[in-house]
A and B are shown apart, each in its own frame.
Chain A
Amino acid sequence: MRRILAAAVAIAALASTVACGNNGGEATSEANQARGPIKVWFSNNKEEVAWGKQFVESWNADHPNEKVTAQEIPAGKSSEEVIGAAITAGNAPCLIFNTAPAAVPQFQKQGGLVALDDFEGARQYVEERTGEKAKQYESPDGKLYQLTWKSNPVMIFYNKALLKKAGADEANLGTYEDFLATARKIVSSKAAPFAIWPAPSNEFYQPWFDFYPLFAAETGGKLLVEDGKAQFTDDAGKAVADFWSSLYKEKLASQEKYNGDAFADGKAAMTIAGPWAIASYGDKVDWGVVPVPTKTAKPAEEIFTFSDAKNIAMFSACANRATAWDVLKAATSKEQDGKLLETTGQMPMRQGLPAAYPDYFAKNKPYETFAAQADRTVEVPNVANSIEIWQAFRDAYSKSVIFGQQEPAAALDEAATKIDGLAKQ
């Protein structure tokens, strides 16, 4: 026993030495001026990989001394985990073209990100490209640690054939009442087992595809947390929760997880997704798209939604940051944004998007709806403990709205108290 104790003490002492060793070090400001080869990571979405490949080839052809080596983000349970681990290990690449805004506060706390404000003209570049929306991505310290890249404004997709089979009018999805009436027709007519099938699972990011888009629409673009306080306990938040609660109570939405894509497989007549999903529906579904519903009818051009944006961040492990900044600008130029749009169908976060690429939108009418919606999106709040806040919200929503174990209003109030505490830390 004494030997075990001695070994434990030795291990603890060793651990403390290692931990102290990690604390040192100074910011390498010279890196901001340095040029040379860099590494970048892309998401593993095949359309994005194709875009990335052509971009890297064109960059490398013009910059033989500042070559970019690209690869997909290594496999893991989620990109955020892999990136977090890479930051800790000190082997993150210079740029990651798939940085989730919700993870930025954590990466920043880890000391893993480079503030883009350190580069001359950076703030102006971002604001000119993205406009007012760029403010949503500012960190609490007033700096920008992410370059707004592309969004996937979330909307309601519907299956035209299934709605027709149910005798439902596809234009009748604008208000909660209309949406519920349509949903009841779909299920009672057995056109599909469920009207809509958002993932009922408990991951922190699931509210982005059920509660949050409707909350953004109902409130005209409020964030979940503003000025350190939860915003969802007002009438708007409760109306959204009641709407989803009705869908689950009446079994118009499933409490069970679907292994696959319920909309593509015809198991649900509607889904809530961004334009990235279009490629996966292919010829399987004849779909239409409308904005998310609101309590009382609103014109489409006033309806907000969740952006589902993915941005580009520069990581502190990068030695040649001047090159990385130039690559960032080149990858988000008007020409490359156009190529991204053509290759992936995702919306570059550029002001006046439909006017910037008129030919593309003339040829791809369904995408025009998403481009118009892209001007009215909200992001996740850029606050400390972001993921913990979303998990606390999801736990309360899951308990009350999905599984009916508590009144939604009471659950939202409890979650707000917890979230207010987390936002203050």
Chain B
Amino acid sequence: MTRLLGKQPVGALFVAPYVIFLAAVFAFPLGFAVYMSFHDYFFAAPGAIVDRPFVGFANYAAVLSDAAVRQSFVNIAVFLVINVPLTVALSLVLATALNKAVRARTFFRVSYYVPYITASVAVVGVWLFLFNSNGLVNAILGPLAPDPSWLVNETLAMPTVAIYVTWKQLGFFILLYLAALQNVPKELYESAAVDGAGRFGTFWAVTMPGVRPATTLVVLLATVTGANLFTEPYLLTGGGGPDGASTSPVLLMYQRGIEQGNPDVASAIGVILVVGALLVALIQRRLLERD
């Protein structure tokens, strides 16, 4: 019994609710998705007599030979390459600035956090107004404005989505860095000052190494939330347009699984996405945590 439940069996009781929750809302659906991806599966009414044979890797073969799916993975790679470094750089710089005794510090902290807590549906309307051909951004750029405009431009659509998501999520990541900055010992800054380090030198030699665990977390979270991109291409670029240039794998999962009634194909895309995101996260962790 002790071997099974440990020295403090009551501990198992305390963790049980969370374990059950995790199993019900995460482990079971994940396992079920894997099951669906190996079967000719579709949702059916209870009691309906349906045939869902095992099809091996047929769904994976269909997915990998689908040009739209391959493009969605390229799109999400473009998104992550822009979004993750930009998120880390901006949130760290802004958190460092906000950590100082600047005037109206609370106002700025709230300003950065508001987009994060505002529903995407509401904010997307503002961005459509800003980035359409007659929008504010193009009015400011004048003859330099791209044609076709940002959100219907095959090259610029995904970077625009990446910048939008960076801006929207920034408040949350600034918060993480602000918490991490509290743990950087003041003495290190004092030593750097005594050694004659300037602002950049202090930032490079003290702040950045001091918040490295937070950076690992920010990179991981930005990658995972980025890989799950859905709302923005769905709303901002009219369903992954133009011509699929901003389609994300999750948007395709929604189209194939929910709209078109092929949850087996959608599950195969999902499993590939999970494996891909895990690999990227693993590489990031190796790179960020090495001394």
Contacts and interface: CB of A to CB of B under 8 A. Distances in A.
Interface of A: 7-8, 11-12, 14-16, 18-19, 22-28, 78, 80-81, 84, 87-90, 92, 106, 109-112, 193, 199-204, 255-257, 259, 316-317, 385, 387-388, 391, 395, 398-399, 402-403, 405
B216 interface: no
Given A12-B35, A23-B50, A87 B43 contact: yes
Contacts of A109: 42, 44, 261
Interface string B208-231: 000000000000000000000000
A204 B149 CA distance: 24
B238 A199 contact: yes
Interface string B32-48: 10110001011111111
B241 A391 contact: no
B46 A398 contact: no
B87 to A, nearest CB: 26
B129 A259 contact: yes
B28 A255 contact: no
Contacts of B43: 84, 87-88, 110
A27 B49 CA distance: 9
A209 to B, nearest CB: 14
Contacts of B45: 87-88, 90, 92, 110-112, 316-317
A15 B28 contact: yes
Contacts of B255: 204, 391
Nearest to A86: B45
Query: Across chains A and B, which 8 residue pairs bring their CB atoms closest together, nearest first?
Result: A111-B48, A25-B47, A201-B238, A11-B31, A202-B239, A90-B46, A15-B35, A88-B43
B6 to A, nearest CB: 15
A88 B44 contact: yes
Given A111-B44, A204-B259, A11 B50 contact: no
Contacts of B30: 11
A196 to B, nearest CB: 16
B249 interface: no
B134 interface: yes
A403 B262 CA distance: 28
Given A19-B32, A110-B42, A203-B239, 11 more contacts: A19-B39, A25-B46, A90-B46, A111-B49, A201-B238, A204-B260, A387-B260, A388-B260, A395-B68, A398-B242, A405-B243
Contact of B35 (A19, A25, A387): A19
Interface of B: 27-28, 30-32, 34-35, 39, 41-50, 52, 68, 125, 128-129, 132-134, 148-149, 151-152, 154, 238-244, 255, 258-262
22 contacts: A8-B34, A11-B28, A14-B28, A15-B35, A22-B46, A22-B48, A28-B47, A88-B43, A106-B260, A110-B42, A110-B44, A112-B48, A202-B238, A202-B241, A202-B244, A203-B239, A385-B260, A388-B262, A391-B260, A395-B68, A399-B243, A403-B154
Contacts of B47: 24-28, 90, 111, 316
Contacts of B244: 202, 395, 399
A335 B279 CA distance: 64
The interface centre, meaning the residue of B27, B48, B151 with most chain A CB atoms within 10 A of its CB, is B48
Contacts of B148: 255, 403
A84 B262 CA distance: 12
Contacts of A112: 44-45, 48
B31 A257 contact: no
A259 B128 contact: yes
A14 B31 contact: yes
A193 B151 CA distance: 18
A92 B31 CA distance: 27
Contacts of B35: 12, 15-16, 19
Given A11-B28, A84-B261, A106-B261, A202 B48 contact: no
Contacts of B48: 22-23, 25, 110-112, 316
Contacts of B261: 84, 106, 109-110, 387
The main secondary structure of chain A at its interface with chain B is: loop
Contacts of A385: 260
Contacts of B68: 395
A112 B46 CA distance: 9
A257 B260 contact: no
A248 to B, nearest CB: 10
Contacts of A14: 28, 31
The interface centre, meaning the residue of B46, B52, B148 with most chain A CB atoms within 10 A of its CB, is B46
A22 B44 CA distance: 8
Contact of B239 (A80, A87, A201, A316): A201
Contacts of A16: 35
Contacts of A12: 31, 34-35
Nearest to B151: A256
B258 to A, nearest CB: 5
Contacts of A110: 42-45, 48, 261
B46 to A, nearest CB: 4
Nearest to A106: B261
A74 B115 CA distance: 28
A200 B149 CA distance: 14
A316 B258 CA distance: 20
B31 A255 contact: no
B227 to A, nearest CB: 21
B229 to A, nearest CB: 16
The interface centre, meaning the residue of B45, B132, B154, B243 with most chain A CB atoms within 10 A of its CB, is B45
A7 B132 CA distance: 50
A73 B31 CA distance: 31
A111 B242 CA distance: 36
A193 B133 CA distance: 11
B226 to A, nearest CB: 21
A87 B244 CA distance: 31
A14 B32 CA distance: 8
A402 B258 CA distance: 26
B71 to A, nearest CB: 11
A398 B243 contact: yes
Contact of B258 (A84, A202, A399): A84
Nearest to A385: B260
Contacts of B125: 259
Contacts of B52: 19, 23
Contact of B259 (A8, A89, A387): A387
A119 B48 CA distance: 20
A109 B48 CA distance: 10
A317 B133 CA distance: 49
